[in-house]
Amino acid sequence: MIEETATVVAINGKQVTVTSTIKSTCHSCHQQDDCGSGQIAKAIPHKALTTTITAGQNNLHIGDEVVIGLSEKSLLNSAVQVYLLPLLMMIVFATIGQFYLVEQLQLHELIALVFAVVGGYLGFVIAQKQQNSRHSQASLQPKLLRKCADIIATVELK
């Protein structure tokens, strides 16, 4: 589970709107002061991402810190569909175009290139339809995992 800390900004029944700051990884690096990328990361303001999620009986209040999560399996499946499906379809169609149309039927080499472009486009369309399906969109919705512990002030006794 990929986790991120977010702040509750609105509550509407079981719908909770949370906001999370998108941070650069440069802020966790020890070399950020000596690195050009670290200097650029300091100059660019952080973006806030706001999303609405369904929460159960978590007794949340506005301003509470919560941990939201996204399934790694869902994210990897989505990445495979979006990146590999168009690439594999392009390779398969280019192979069909080259070995069947060019080698067997003695057609022009440009036909294999057109087949590759058509295969890549078909792979893109199939991946887009799969990503727009309800099941895929539901699996890519972040889930409320837990409420962060409230900070309790302590007093040292002497």
Edge-to-edge strands, sheet with 15-22 = 47-54, 15-22, 2-12, 65-70, 143-147
For the chain, give every domain's residue range.
Answer: 2-70, 73-139
pLDDT given for residue 33 in this prediction: 66
Question: pLDDT tens for residues 118-142?
Answer: 999 999 999 999 999 888 888 888 8
3 state SS of 128: helix
Query: Residue 153: pLDDT above 60?
Result: no
Record the pTM: 0.63
65 has which bridge partners? 7
142 touches 67 (CB < 8 A):
no
pLDDT band at 155 (very low <50, low <70, confident <90, very high): low
pLDDT given for residue 100 in this prediction: 84
pLDDT given for residue 102 in this prediction: 73
Q: For residues 141 and 74, what is the distance between their CA atoms, to the nearest angstrom?
A: 9
pLDDT given for residue 113 in this prediction: 92
Q: For residues 18 and 63, what is the distance between their CA atoms, to the nearest angstrom?
A: 9
Question: pLDDT tens for residues 62-103?
Answer: 888 888 888 889 889 899 999 999 999 999 999 998 888 877
Question: pLDDT tens for residues 13-63?
Answer: 888 888 887 766 666 666 666 776 666 666 666 677 888 888 776 688 888
DSSP state of 62: T
